[in-house]
A and B are shown apart, each in its own frame.
Chain A
Amino acid sequence: MLDLLEKMGEHWRAVVLAVLLHVLVAAFLIFGIQFFHDSASKGNRGRSIIEASVVQASAQSTPASSEPAQKQPQKPDQQQNEQATAEAAKKQAEAQKAAQQKAQQQAAEKAAQQKAAAQQARQEAAQKAAQQAAAEKAKKQAAEQKAKQEAAQKAKQQAAQEQAEKEAAEKAKQEAAAEQARKAAQAKKQAAEKKAREEAKAKKKAAEQKAQQEAEAKKQAAEEKARKQAEAQKKAAAEKARKEAEAKKQAAEEKARKEAEAKKQAAEEKARKEAEAKKKAEAQKQAREAAAKADLQKALAQEAAGRQNAVNQKAMARYVQAIQDKVEGNWIRPPGASNISCKVKVTQLPGGQITNVQLLGSCGSAAIDRSVKQAIYKSDPLPTPPSDNLFQSEIEFTFKPDQ
Chain B
Amino acid sequence: MKYKNLQSLVVGFATLCLMAIAVSPAQAALQVDITKSSDSAIPIAIVPFGSSQGQQMPVDVAQIASNDLASTGLFKIFPRGNMLAKPSSPDQVNYDNWRTQHVDNLVVGSASPNGQGGYKITFNLLDAAQGQSVASYQLNAGPNQLRQAGHTIANLLYQRFTGKKGYFLSRIAYVTVTGSSADKRQFRLVVSDYDGSHPSTVYSSQDPIMSPAWSPDGKKLAYVAFNVYKGVSSVRVQDLATGKVRTIASGSGVNGAPAWSPDGNRIALTKSQNGDSNIYVYNLSTGQMQQLTHSSSIDTEAAWSPDGQKIAFTSDRGGKPQIYEMSSHGGQVQRLTYDGQSNQRPDFSPDGKLLAMVQQSANGFRIAVMNLANNNVRVVSDGPLDDSPAFAPNGQAILYATQGSSNSLATVSVDGKAKSTLSQAGEVREPAWGPLGY
Which residues of A are interface residues toward B (Cβ below 8 A)?
A: 283, 286-287, 290, 293-294, 297-298, 301-302, 305, 308-309, 312, 316, 319-320, 323-324, 327-337, 345, 365-368, 370-375, 377-378, 380, 389-390, 392, 394-401, 403
- Give every chain A residue within 8 A of B161 (Cβ-Cβ): 334-335, 367, 370-371
Is B29 in contact with A396, judged by CB distance below 8 angstroms?
A: yes
- Tell yes or no: B70 within 8 A of A by CB: no
Cβ contact within 8 Å between B129 and A374: yes
Also in contact, A293 and B32, with CB within 8 A (given A336-B164, A378-B129): no
B74 beta carbon closer than 8 Å to chain A: yes
- Chain B residues lying within 8 Å of A389, measured Cβ to Cβ, are 23
Could you list some 20 contacts between A and B, CB below 8 A? A290-B7, A294-B10, A294-B11, A294-B14, A327-B34, A331-B34, A331-B37, A332-B40, A334-B161, A335-B161, A336-B163, A345-B29, A367-B159, A373-B130, A374-B127, A374-B130, A380-B129, A394-B30, A397-B34, A398-B32
Decide yes or no whether B104 CB sits under 8 A from chain A: yes
B189 to chain A, nearest CB (A): 30
When the two chains form the complex, which single residue of B29, B32, B42, B395 contacts A336, counting CB atoms closer than 8 Å?
B395
Please determine whether B163 and A395 come into contact, CB atoms closer than 8 angstroms.
no
Q: Does B35 contact A401, Cβ atoms closer than 8 Å?
A: yes
* B residues 1-36 touching A (CB-CB < 8 Å): 3-4, 7, 10-11, 14-15, 18-19, 21-23, 26-27, 29-36
B134 within 8 Å of A (CB atoms): yes
A392 and B32 form a contact (CB under 8 A): no
Within 8 A of A (CB), among B137-170: 159-164
**Which 5 A-B residue pairs are closest in the complex by CB-CB distance?**
A367-B163, A333-B37, A394-B29, A365-B163, A377-B129
Which residue on A lies nearest to B105, using beta carbons?
Answer: A374
B55 within 8 A of A: no
Is B172 part of the binding interface, using a Cβ–Cβ cutoff of 8 Å?
A: no
Contact indicator B7/A287 (Cβ below 8 Å): yes
B11: contacting residue among A297, A312, A398, CB under 8 A: A297
Interface pair A377/B22, CB less than 8 Å apart: no
Query: Is B74 a contact partner of A335 (Cβ separation < 8 A)?
Result: yes
Return chain A residues, CB-CB under 8 Å to B322: none
Pair B104/A378 contact, Cβ less than 8 Å: yes
Cα distance, A113 to B19, chains bound together (Å): 156
Instruction: Give the residue of B35, B105, B163 whose beta carbon is less than 8 angstroms from that of A366.
Output: B163
B74 touches A400 (CB 8 A): no
- Contacts A332-B40, A335-B74, A335-B396 given; does A377 touch B130 at CB 8 Å: yes
- How far apart are the CA atoms of A28 and B42 in the complex, in Å? 183
Within 8 A of A (CB), among B154-201: 159-164
Asked if B303 is at the interface of the complex by the 8 Å CB criterion, the answer is no
A396 touches B32 (CB 8 A): yes
Residue of A nearest to B41 (CB): A332
Interface mask (B60-85 → A, CB under 8 Å = 1, otherwise 0): 00000000000010100000000000
Q: Once the chains bind, are A392 and B29 in contact (CB under 8 Å)?
A: yes
Q: Beyond A293-B11, A298-B14, A397-B32, is A332–B38 a contact (Cβ under 8 Å)?
A: yes
Assembly CA distance A283 to B72 (angstroms): 82
Residue pair B162, A367 in contact (C-beta under 8 Å): yes
Cβ of B19: which chain A residues have Cβ within 8 Å of it? 305
User: How distant is the Cα of A380 from the Cα of B418 in the complex, in angstroms?
Assistant: 29
Do the beta carbons of A403 and B32 come within 8 Å of each other? no
Q: B8 — nearest CB in chain A belongs to which residue?
A: A290
Contact between chains at A308 and B36 (CB < 8 Å): no
- Residue contact B11 to A290, C-beta cutoff 8 Å: yes
Q: Whose C-beta in chain B lies nearest to the C-beta of A373?
A: B130
The answer, yes or no, to whether B381 is at the interface (CB within 8 Å) is no
Residues of A within 8 A of B33 (CB): 324, 397-398, 400
B415 at interface (Cβ–Cβ under 8 A)? yes
Q: How far is the CB of B198 from chain A (nearest CB, A)?
A: 25
List, in ascending order, chain A residues with CB within 8 A of B22's CB.
305, 308-309, 312
**Which residues of the partner chain B approach A297 to less than 8 Å between Cβ atoms?**
11, 14-15
A314 to chain B, nearest CB (A): 14
Residues of A with C-beta under 8 A to B415: 335-336
Contact of A335 among B30, B35, B127, B418 (CB under 8 A): B418
Taking each of B14, B35, B37, B127, which has the highest tally of chain A beta carbons within 10 Å of its own beta carbon?
Answer: B37
- Inter-chain CA distance A129–B161, complex, in Å, is 191
Q: List 14 additional contacts besides A301-B18, A375-B34; criterion CB under 8 Å.
A: A327-B34, A328-B37, A329-B38, A331-B38, A332-B42, A333-B37, A335-B164, A336-B163, A336-B164, A336-B414, A366-B163, A392-B26, A395-B32, A396-B29
Q: Which residues of B contact A365 (CB under 8 A)?
A: 163
A283-B3, A287-B3, A332-B38 are known contacts. Are A320 and B30 too (CB-CB below 8 A)?
yes
Q: How far is the CB of A403 from chain B (nearest CB, A)?
A: 7
Q: How far is the CB of B17 from chain A (nearest CB, A)?
A: 9
Identity of the chain A residue whose Cβ is nearest the Cβ of B11 in the assembled complex: A294
Report whether A328 and B414 are in contact in the complex, using a CB–CB cutoff of 8 Å.
no
Q: Which residue of A lies closest to B40 (CB)?
A: A332
Bound CA span A302–B23, Å = 12
Contacts of A316 in B (CB 8 A): 26
Contacting pair B129 A324 (CB below 8 A): no
CA distance A389 to B31 in the complex (A): 16
Q: Which residues of B contact A308 (CB under 8 A)?
A: 22
Q: Is B408 an interface residue (CB 8 A)?
A: no
Q: B418 → chain A, closest Cβ, in Å?
A: 7
A374 contact set on B, CB distance < 8 A: 104-105, 127, 129-130
B413 at the interface (CB under 8 A from A): yes
- Partner of B162 from A319, A323, A334, A401 at Cβ < 8 Å: A334
Residues of A within 8 A of B42 (CB): 332
Q: B30 and A395: CB pair below 8 A?
A: yes
- B130–A337 touching, CB < 8 Å: no
Mark interface residues in B312-337 (1 if CB within 8 Å of A CB, else 0).
00000000000000000000000000
Distance of B183 from chain A, by nearest CB (Å): 47
For A395, list chain B residues within 8 Å (CB): 29-32
A372 to B163, CA, bound (A): 13
Inter-subunit contact B162/A305 (CB<8 Å): no
Contact A398 B127 (CB under 8 A): no
**Judging by beta carbons under 8 Å apart, are B36 and A328 in contact?**
yes
- Residue of A329, A370, A400 ringed by the most chain B CB atoms within 10 A: A370
Q: How far is the CA of A320 from the CA of B25 in the complex (A)?
A: 14
Residues in A with CB closer than 8 Å to B7 are 286-287, 290, 294
* In-complex Cβ contact of A370 among B11, B30, B35, B134 (8 A): B134
Chain B's closest residue to A402 (CB) is B35
- Shortest Cβ distance from A392 into B: residue: B30
Check A286–B38 contact: CB distance below 8 A. Answer: no
Q: Which residues of B contact A301 (CB under 8 A)?
A: 14-15, 18
Chain A residues positioned under 8 Å from B15 (CB to CB): 297, 301
Task: Report yes or no: A324 in contact with B32, Cβ–Cβ below 8 A.
Answer: yes
CA distance A283 to B414 in the complex (A): 80
Bound CA–CA A283/B42 (angstroms): 73
For the complex, what is the distance from the CA of A334 to the CA of B127, rounded to whole Å?
15
Question: Distance in Å from the Cβ of A160 to the closest Cβ of chain B?
Answer: 130
Do A302 and B18 have beta carbons less than 8 Å apart?
yes
B30 and A400 form a contact (CB under 8 A)? no
Bound complex: CA A324 to CA B35 (Å): 9
